[in-house]
A and B are shown apart, each in its own frame.
Chain A
Amino acid sequence: MSQKEILLEPNTWIDKYADYLYNYAVVRVNDNDIAKDLVQETFFAGLKSAKNFQGKSTERTWLISILKRKVIDHYRKINSKKGQAEVRMNFYNDGENEGNWLEERVPQSWDNASEKDIETEELRSQIEDCIDNLPHKYGMVFRMKTIQEFETEEICKELDITSSNLWVIVHRARTQLRKCMEDNWFNN
């Protein structure tokens, strides 16, 4: 016997990997229920395709690779939804003013009080509210880049998008967040 073959033991999966997979999913989709569903689908898909497992990787790596597909599928689903229209424009998108600030979206001066920048429960929940108000896809990419601090390349790979696509999303997310924080935090 040259190498010990790895066998799947589905009856131990939940105890061994549920938390690990769940944490992986939740930091990406930022929704407990969706994360739970993705983990469940991953285990079911794992069971179904157990016979294709070749024992070349560990169980955990194999399950994560299934979950990764599920995350991409989830991203594609939210990407194709009509929710796109929710994005508020910040710039003229045609005519002679194309690319200029829309008048009502021009940044206003902010209250400079430094206590506005100190992390408090209030500030945390305001940031979360503003991110939650973004279209789901924008929130997901923004979080992965800014909150989870993933490398650009990694996000592009995981969501199967190009880097210019990523920056357009981050840009739209941030201009919208800026406005939200202006209205509800800095000048409130």
Chain B
Amino acid sequence: MFKNFVITCDEATTICDKNQYGEATLLEKIKLNIHFIRCKICRKYTKQNVRLTKIFRVHSKSCNSIKHCMNEEDKAALKKQMEILNN
């Protein structure tokens, strides 16, 4: 029965990654915490992952404040092509 709770480092870090977005299930979190008891490496991975998540979040904010527009020259060229195709 306990065997069902034993996961590999690959699986543990997958859960940890999912948890960075708050989307790991309760069962997954239990499995992850059981894994932590015997795995120092994945504990370290998790700590670093949390740090990265914070950094990514700040990065995301500055990326999303930019609105991307198409270059005016490209628009003009595209307009010409459209006119040709439309006639």
Contact = CB atoms under 8 A, between A and B. Distances in A.
A115 interface: no
Contacts of B79: 14
Interface residues of A, number: 49
B64 to A, nearest CB: 7
Contacts of A40: 78, 81
A80 interface: no
A167 interface: yes
Contact of A167 (B7, B17, B52, B55): B17
A118 B44 CA distance: 21
B26 interface: no
A178 interface: yes
Main secondary structure on chain A at its contact with chain B?
A: helix
A149 B70 contact: no
B49 A14 contact: no
Contacts of B7: 99
Contact of B55 (A22, A47, A98, A123): A123
Interface string A1-36: 000000000110111001100110011000000011
Interface of A: 10-11, 13-15, 18-19, 22-23, 26-27, 35-36, 39-40, 43-44, 47, 90-91, 98-101, 106-107, 109-110, 117, 119, 123-124, 127, 145-149, 152, 167-168, 170-171, 174-175, 177-178, 181-182
27 contacts: A14-B75, A14-B82, A15-B75, A18-B75, A22-B68, A22-B69, A36-B74, A40-B78, A91-B8, A91-B9, A98-B8, A99-B9, A99-B11, A101-B9, A107-B45, A110-B48, A117-B54, A119-B55, A119-B58, A127-B56, A146-B56, A147-B60, A149-B60, A171-B18, A174-B17, A178-B45, A178-B48
Interface of B: 7-11, 13-14, 17-18, 20-21, 23, 41, 44-45, 48-49, 51-52, 54-56, 58-60, 62-64, 67-71, 74-75, 78-79, 81-83, 85-86
Q: 3 closest pairs, A vs B, by CB?
A: A99-B8, A22-B70, A91-B10
